[in-house]
Structure 1
C-alpha cells in the first residue's frame, strides 16, 4: 500500500484542499497520515476523518519586526526535528504540502530524508512558507494561470484548487429551515474567513437595518465574534463557524460576500455564486488576496470592494449592483474553464512516486 503524508495548516484554506483530496486518495488505496501543528485549526478539521494526526512545533516566519521573531526560529528547529523523527517512522512514499508555516519543517525534513514532495500554491504569488520548499519540490501545483510566471517552468502544473465534493450536495430548503428563513426573500451569505474578520463584520452590521429591508443575512463571523445584541434579529443569523451545514447555506445563498482567500473564492466560483470580494488590505497582508480578487474581477467572476473604499454607502451599492446583475455573473462563471483538480493532483502524486522509484 502506498503511503502519503498530507501537511498544511494555520487557516482553513491550508486544510480544506487536503480534505478534498481524501476520498480519491482513499479510493486509490493510499495509507494517509497528517502532520500539522499541536493545536492549530487543522487538528480540529482533520480529526473527524479518522486519519492519524501528528502535531509538531511550528513558528511563524514574518517579514516584519515582532519580538516573536527571536523565539519562533527555535520552534521551527524543534518542528524540523519532530518532523524528521516522524518521517523516519512513517517512511511515506510522498508528501503533499498545502502551505502554512507548519509545512516548513515537514518539507525540509522530507528533503533531508530524500522523500519526494509536491507543493500546492493557492495564491497568484507564492507565500513565504511555500517559497522555502519550492526549490526542492518535485512538482508545484498552481491555482491561477498567472502563478505559472512565478514558478520553475519544469515543475509548475496548473491544477486549480481541489473542491470538497460535499459542497455540491447542498439543499436550499434545508439551508433556509436551518436559519429559520423564508423562501420569499433573497439571502446574502457573509464569510469572514475561518478566523473571522472584524472589518467585514463591522461593515455588515453597520448596514444591517437597511440590508434586512430587502435581504436575509447569514453571517459567518468567526470565533468569539458573535454580537449578542443582534441575537434573535428577524432575518439575521450569525455563526462562529459552520461545517456540516455549509453546503446547505451556500445553496440557499443568492449572493456571497467574502474575503478573497484563494480556496474560498474557487469554491464560490465552482458553485456559481454571484459575489463581492473584500480582500485583506496590503497593510494587513502580503497582498495576495488583492491579486486573487483582481484576477477574478478581470475574468468577470466577482465584484471587488477594497477595504480603503469600504463604507456603508459603497457596500450597499455593491450589494444592489451585484444582485441586480446576478445573471450576468452566473453566465460568466458558467463559461469558466474549471479544472478537474482532484484527479489531476492525484495523477501527479502517482506520477512522482513512480519517478522516485526509477531513481532508486
Structure 2
C-alpha cells in the first residue's frame, strides 16, 4: 500500500511552527510521510530541519497592514511563491496539506488548491490573521482554538479543535528544572516569557524591579535572542535564557507562576500545564489586537490575570504578582475545569478524515 504523504507549512515566527511540531510524532506513528514548505531564511527552516524532515524552499512576501515600500514588491514574491509551491505539490503529490499560518502559508495553500489537494488550516488566535483570511477560500477546513472564533469563519468550514500542544511539555521534571538553573533555595519560581523574539517592555520592567522580585522569587527569564544582560549574571536567583528548546519542559515544570505575552500557543500551554499566569498582551498599537482578545477570553474564564501594556507600571506588576501567587490555587481550580483540551487528537482525526 502506498504511504500517505502530508506537506506542512507555516512560518514567520515560532508560533507558526511549534504547533506543527506537536502533530509530527503522531503523524509519523500512523504512517504519514511528512514534508515541509517554508522560506529560505525563516525561523521555520532551522526548527524543521532539526526534526530531519524534508524541507522545500519557496519565495514569499510579507503581508502587512501598514504602509511599507515593500508592499509594492512583495505581492510579486507571493505570486512567484504560488507557482513554486504549486510545482512542488504537483511533483510530490501529497494527500493533504496542513497549514499553521504566517505569510509563507498563503502561496502553499493556493498551490495546493490549484492541484486539487485538500487543505486544513489552523488558526490559533480568536480572530483569523491576515494570512489565514486570505487562505480561507482555498481551504477545506479551518481548525479554531477558541469557541468564539467560529462566528468569524463559514460554519461549514470551521472546526473547534483547540491548539496542538507538544507531548514533551507534559514530561518535564521540576527537580531537573531547578538543577538547570542552579537555584540555591526553595523560593517559588517565577518564569517570564516574552515570546520567541522577546519583549523589551517586559524585559525592562522585570529588570527594573529585579531586586524587589528576587526577595520573593527565583526567576527564570526567557528574554529573546540578543537580549541577555551580562550585568545580572552575578545574581544566582536570576537565570536568563535568550531561547529555550530542549530544557523548556523542565523549566516550565519547575515554575510556580508565569508572566507572559498572550499569544495563543503559549497561553494554551499554560492552561494545559495548569500554571497560574499574568498576561501582558501585545499592544493594539503594534499588532492587530489578537493578543488582547486572547487575554480577555482567558481572564473572563478565570485562567489568567491581565495587565494591558499601556497600563503596566512597577507598582501594578508587583501587586498583580502578589495576588496571583496568593490565589494560585483558585486559578488552578478554574484551569482544571476547562473543556479546552490539547488539540492534537482532534486535528489528527480531521487530517485523516480529509486525506485524499
TM-score bucket of the superposed structures, by smaller chain:
over 0.9
Deviations 1:84-106 (A, max 9, x none): 12111111010000000000110
Find the partner of 1:146 among 145, 148, 161. Answer: 148
Is residue 2:138 matched to residue 1:136? yes
Find the partner of 1:84 among 56, 68, 86. Answer: 86
Match of 2:182 in 1: 180
Find the partner of 1:71 among 50, 70, 73. Answer: 73
For the residues of structure 1 that align with 2:49 and 2:179, how far apart are their CA atoms? 28
Output aligned runs, 1:263-342, within 5 Å.
263-342=265-344
Q: Are the equivalent residues in 2 in contact too, given 1:124–1:144 (CA < 8 A)?
A: yes
Unpaired runs of 5+ residues, structure 2, are none
Q: What TM-score results when the alignment is normalised by the length of structure 1?
A: 0.97
Match of 2:193 in 1: 191
For the residues of structure 2 that align with 1:55 and 1:236, how far apart are their CA atoms? 40
Q: Are the equivalent residues in 1 in contact too, given 2:7–2:96 (CA < 8 A)?
A: yes
For the residues of structure 1 that align with 2:225 and 2:154, how far apart are their CA atoms? 38
Q: CA deviation at 1:136?
A: 2.3
Q: CA deviation at 1:242?
A: 0.4
SS at match of 2:183: coil
For the residues of structure 2 that align with 1:179 and 1:22, how far apart are their CA atoms? 30
SS at match of 2:50: helix
Q: Are the equivalent residues in 2 in contact too, given 1:176–1:249 (CA < 8 A)?
A: yes
Find the partner of 1:49 among 48, 51, 70. Answer: 51
Is residue 2:216 matched to residue 1:210? no
For the residues of structure 2 that align with 1:11 and 1:174, how far apart are their CA atoms? 28
Find the partner of 2:246 among 244, 247, 260. Answer: 244
For the residues of structure 2 that align with 1:256 and 1:265, how far apart are their CA atoms? 10
For the residues of structure 2 that align with 1:329 and 1:16, how far apart are their CA atoms? 26
Q: Are the equivalent residues in 1 in contact too, given 2:165–2:342 (CA < 8 A)?
A: no
For the residues of structure 2 that align with 1:66 and 1:180, how far apart are their CA atoms? 46
CA RMSD of aligned residues (A): 1.0
For the residues of structure 2 that align with 1:145 and 1:100, how far apart are their CA atoms? 21
Over 2 Å off, 4+ runs: none
Unpaired runs of 5+ residues, structure 1, are none
Is residue 2:173 matched to residue 1:164? no
For the residues of structure 1 that align with 2:354 and 2:89, how far apart are their CA atoms? 18
For the residues of structure 1 that align with 2:315 and 2:59, how far apart are their CA atoms? 45
Deviations 1:234-268 (A, max 9, x none): 20011110000000000000101110000110000
Match of 1:233 in 2: 235
Deviations 1:124-171 (A, max 9, x none): 000010011111211110000000010111111100000000000000
Q: Are the equivalent residues in 2 in contact too, given 1:176–1:183 (CA < 8 A)?
A: no
Q: Are the equivalent residues in 2 in contact too, given 1:278–1:305 (CA < 8 A)?
A: yes
Is residue 2:262 matched to residue 1:224? no
Match of 1:99 in 2: 101
For the residues of structure 1 that align with 2:229 and 2:342, how far apart are their CA atoms? 40
SS at match of 1:49: coil
Q: What TM-score results when the alignment is normalised by the length of structure 2?
A: 0.98
Q: CA deviation at 1:78?
A: 2.0
Q: Are the equivalent residues in 2 in contact too, given 1:220–1:238 (CA < 8 A)?
A: yes
CA distance change for structure 1 residues 183 and 173 in 2, over 3 Å: closer, same or farther?
farther
Deviations 1:285-330 (A, max 9, x none): 0000000000000000000010011011111111111011101001
Q: Are the equivalent residues in 2 in contact too, given 1:39–1:55 (CA < 8 A)?
A: no
